[in-house]
């Protein structure tokens, strides 16, 4: 259905998709590994990149990334927006390298797992805590990718 909706898009239009598991006031709506959908979604959806949540055990491991179609980018949502605890930098870097066993590092990116609010009420983080998470993402990206 998604491929039909985006058929005929302009060549210079980049499209991405986010597989969301819910983000309402620091809670989630679903859980589960990407394995059941990976052979279809990752291999067949005609988007340029996938924003995927990997901030906790709800998302499973990185093995389903082996189904990712050639040339697609994967944005690893490794930094949670659901709680204010700042992730350990080295743990996140290790997880990026773990994902790189399935997708080349130059096709991986890093972001928070979802937006900081999917509704007006937002998540249970202060503005300063949100900025700290974004600063951590930037710091890690510069260290891993040198940008």
CA 135 to chain centre: 17
Is pLDDT above 80 for 26? no
b/e map of 98-122 (b: 16 or more CB within 10 Å)? ebbebbeeebbbbbbbbbbbbeeeb
In this predicted structure, what is the pLDDT of residue 34?
82
Task: Kindly indicate the confidence band of residue 29, based on its pLDDT and cuts at 50, 70 and 90.
Answer: very low
CA distance 69 to 24: 31
Residue 72, token pair as written in the block = 């697609």
More confident call, 33 vs 98: 98
Residue at token pair 């924003």: 51
pLDDT tens for 70-92 read 999 999 999 988 888 999 999 99
Residue 45, token pair as written in the block = 């959806």
Considering only CA atoms, which of 137, 132, 35 is closest in space to residue 96? 137
In this predicted structure, what is the pLDDT of residue 7?
92
Mean pLDDT of 43-57: 90
Is pLDDT above 70 for 123? no
Please give the helix or strand (H or E) that residue 129 lies within, else none.
Answer: helix 127-145
What percent of the residues of the chain are helix, what percent strand, and what percent coil, each to the nearest 5?
Answer: 35, 15, 50
> Are the C-beta atoms of residues 109 and 67 closer than 8 Å to each other?
no
Residue 39, token pair as written in the block = 């052979």
Mean pLDDT of the chain: 87
């Amino acid at each position: 259905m998604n491929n039909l909706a985006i058929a005929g898009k302009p060549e210079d239009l980049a499209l991405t998709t986010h597989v969301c598991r819910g983000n309402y006031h620091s809670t989630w709506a679903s859980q589960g590994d990407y394995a059941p959908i990976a052979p279809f979604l990752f291999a067949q959806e005609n988007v340029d990149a996938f924003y995927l949540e990997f901030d906790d055990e709800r998302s499973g491991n990185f093995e389903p990334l082996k189904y990712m179609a050639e040339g697609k980018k994967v944005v690893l949502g490794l930094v949670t927006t659901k709680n204010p605890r700042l992730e350990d930098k080295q743990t996140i870097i290790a997880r990026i390298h773990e994902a790189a066993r399935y997708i080349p590092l130059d096709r991986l990116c890093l972001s928070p797992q979802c937006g900081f609010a999917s509704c007006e009420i937002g998540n249970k983080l202060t503005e300063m805590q949100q900025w700290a998470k974004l600063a951590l993402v930037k710091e890690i990206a510069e260290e891993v990718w040198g940008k």
